[in-house]
Amino acid sequence: MRHGKLSSASPMALRRYGFILSFLAAPLVLYVVFVIAPYVQAFQIALTNWKGISPDFDYVGFENFGKMFADDVFWQAVRHHGLLLLVMPLATIAIALFFSFLLNIGGGQANGRRTGVRGAAFYKIVFFFPQVLAVAIVGVLFQAILRPDKTGVVNNALGAVGIDPVGWLINPDLALWTIMGVMVWQAVGFYVVLFSAGMSSIPSEVFEAAALDGAGRFTLFFKITLPLLWDTLQVGWVYLGIAAFDGFALVQVLSVDRGGPDNATTVLPLEIWRQAFTFSKYGYASAMGVALFFLTLTFAVLTLRVTRRERIEF
Amino acid sequence: MTRPPQRTGGRVGVFGALSHLALVVWAILVIFPIIWTFLGSFKTNTEIFGEHPLGLPATFHWDAWGRAWAKAHIGQYMVNTVIVVALSTFFTMLLSSMAAYVLARYRFFGSKVIYLLFVSGLSFPVFLALVPLFLTVKNLGLLGTHTGVVIVYVAYSLPFSVFFLTAFFKTLPTSVAEAAMMDGASHTRTFFQVMLPMAKPGLISITIFNILGQWNQYLLPIVLLPGNAEDKWLITQGIANISTNAGYEADWAGLFAALSMAIIPMLIVYIVFQRQIQSGLTAGALK
């Protein structure tokens, strides 16, 4: 906008700056006080032994970090994030890609255009629904469904075909996988819709040309759809990767003993929350927060580096 | 990969059947838990956890719904959440569109820095800020108040909303606003009467995004509305708490009624606005 330059009269310029100031002041103050300042303070508190009860604390340098690196629970949580990062995005993306391919392209041709299978619109609506539910509510829901004895729906159904009850959440070797399953259950619909949007922007001539060359569904999927969808896939991967460093609400609500059994499902956000609000170890909790920040940052930078490739224009 | 056309037909048939089966199975996986919860709210404990937890209830009575609404305070939590989310979404939209408009349309000293400051908030996990945020809210005397929750919701919704709306305002034509200014409209009036109506599609997307995000928030309520402020609690922490208590009081139907009460409004809103919700939530991914 050139309003300031339209006239050099100072009342006009003054009015312009007054306007800018009046529009920016409230959001900026709110944002700096409640978002930026806490982030900065977290790095400072991480260097103290603050226990929260008294206002007194000492700077202890990197003591909290030393304690953290010697803490088994910390490393357990980091390992869980590693597993989450490896399995959850891959499973979600694979299932969502399969479904969105079926729903958009897999139905064959009608009037020379590729269409989805019958009922595609209905499936998209149903699949997306878990996304609008609160994670805490999903957690409570699955707590009832996955009860370890025959009173759980899943185990009751398994019992009907002669399989013994499975300790979905009480078996330490299984609990994290169960929680990942619930994460995938909730996330798939979102990525079906996201990938569908990406697929519908691929021009249909591309598919027509390929079909004329005799390409089957598998060729269409791996040689055409996948490369043309790369940008959208990358976005999905980043989103899911960031989600893999969270997991707080689901683990806190769904797992036994909040992160159990025996810390078998704990994640860093949960440990931060527990150290801060159960044990009032503000310094230590903030140190874990700093660790989480650097883990997330590393993931984001690496992903952008590795997955960047040339855009395919169409 | 090319196959003779006559064979393709048969392969596609099997593939088509299997893939359709996969779609049906996933649809059942999504729908079934929700129907089971809804039916569970009418059942007795023996019906819920007896030999046939998948069966229909013997009689449909609404006792559990009454218990969940009044005794478990779901009604109260619901009202609290509606108030908090309505206020915080309104102020998020107001403040973020004001900031985004100025950042998108006016060039002034520091505009770039302020924009980057807002956007940088997107790359920090909220857990890093948790302790200092809690202390800030506490020191301001806002711990355990809805005012505190609304302010924090607005503040943490700003980065994404400002980021998205700045991009959106930049795509709008400048000529209409310039004409309005020529006609003597003030900057403020131009914003509210010309630019905001033009930005409606973007505003709707981000409003939906914020309503859902804030409605589903769990971490911030349990930190900012601790146990001694139970009458201020929001729906997500209320449900999670009932789940803990249901085990002791053995009121499973009450839990399912509470869950249904939390799920059904979302289901109705989703069915009515599903197109807008899908585009609103995926809007963030298509930057």
The domains of chain A are located at 3-45, 64-307
- Select the residue from B127, B137, B205 to test the A interface by mutation, using most A Cβ atoms within 10 A: B127
Residue B225 structural domain: 64-286
- Mark out the alpha helices in chain B (DSSP H runs): 5-40, 45-49, 63-66, 74-105, 111-120, 126-139, 146-171, 175-182, 187-189, 196-198, 200-215, 219-224, 235-249, 252-283
List the single residue in A with minimal CA-CA distance to B34.
A141
Q: How far apart are CA B243 and CA A294, in angstroms?
A: 34
What is residue B51's predicted lDDT score, i.e. its pLDDT?
66
- Mark out the alpha helices in B140-199 (DSSP H runs): 146-171, 175-182, 187-189, 196-198
List the single residue in B with minimal CA-CA distance to A32.
B155
- Answer whether B30 sits within 8 Å of A126, measured CB to CB: yes
What is residue B140's predicted lDDT score, i.e. its pLDDT?
92
- Answer whether A285 sits within 8 Å of B131, measured CB to CB: yes
| Max mean pLDDT range (A28-42, A95-109, B2-16) | A28-42
Say if B174 is an interface residue toward chain A (CB within 8 Å): yes
Say if B80 is an interface residue toward chain A (CB within 8 Å): no
List the single residue in A with minimal CA-CA distance to B271.
A125
| In the block, residue with structure tokens 């209905």 | A122
Average pLDDT value for chain B? 84
Q: Which of B106, B181, B219 sits opposite A20 (nearest CB)?
A: B106
A19-41 pLDDT, tens digit per residue, is 888 899 999 999 999 999 999 98
- Answer whether A216 sits within 8 Å of B8, measured CB to CB: yes
Structural domains in chain B (count): 1
Least confident segment among A145-159, A256-270, B125-139: A145-159
What SS3 class is residue A216? coil
The two tokens of residue B46 are 């023996």
Contacts of A213 in chain B (CB under 8 A): 2
Contacts of B158 in chain A (CB under 8 A): 27, 30-31, 35
Confidence label for A237 from pLDDT (cuts 50, 70 and 90): confident
The two tokens of residue B207 are 């409003």
Average pLDDT value for chain A? 83
List the single residue in A with minimal CA-CA distance to B5.
A214
- Answer whether B129 sits within 8 Å of A38, measured CB to CB: yes
- Nearest-neighbour CA in chain B from A239: distance (Å): 8
Q: Does some domain include residue B46?
A: no
CATH topology of domain A64-307: MetI-like fold (1.10.3720)
Look at residues A97, A292, A117 and name the one whose alpha carbon lies nearest to residue A193: A97
- Answer whether A246 sits within 8 Å of B125, measured CB to CB: yes
Q: How far apart are CA B194 and CA B184, in angstroms?
A: 13
- Nearest-neighbour CA in chain A from B75: distance (Å): 16
pTM score above 0.90: no
Q: Does some domain include residue B7?
A: no
What is residue A9's predicted lDDT score, i.e. its pLDDT?
55
Compute and round to an integer the Cα radius of gyration of chain A: 25
Q: Does some domain include residue B167?
A: yes
Contacts of A280 in chain B (CB under 8 A): none
What is residue A150's predicted lDDT score, i.e. its pLDDT?
72
DSSP string covering A244-275, please? HT--HHHHHHHSTTTT-STTTT--HHHHHHHH
* Cβ pair B206, B164 in contact under 8 A: yes
ipTM over 0.95: no
- Nearest-neighbour CA in chain A from B256: distance (Å): 8
What is residue B86's predicted lDDT score, i.e. its pLDDT?
95
Q: Does some domain include residue B182?
A: yes
Least confident segment among A118-122, B4-8, B207-211, B252-256: B4-8
By the 10 Å C-beta count (0-12 exposed, 13-18 middle, 19+ buried), B267 is classed as: middle
The mean pLDDT of A38-45, rounded to a whole number, is 90
Contacts of B124 in chain A (CB under 8 A): 39, 293
By the 10 Å C-beta count (0-12 exposed, 13-18 middle, 19+ buried), A121 is classed as: exposed
- Answer whether B131 sits within 8 Å of A249, measured CB to CB: no
- Answer whether B269 sits within 8 Å of A273, measured CB to CB: no
Q: How many CB pairs under 8 A join A and B?
A: 281
CB < 8 Å from A in window 89-108 of B:
95-96, 98-99, 101-103, 105-108
What is residue A71's predicted lDDT score, i.e. its pLDDT?
86
CB < 8 Å from A in window 40-59 of B:
40, 48-49, 52-54
Q: Which of B48, B131, B162 sits opposite A45 (nearest CB)?
A: B131
* Cβ pair A292, B128 in contact under 8 A: yes
Say if B179 is an interface residue toward chain A (CB within 8 Å): no
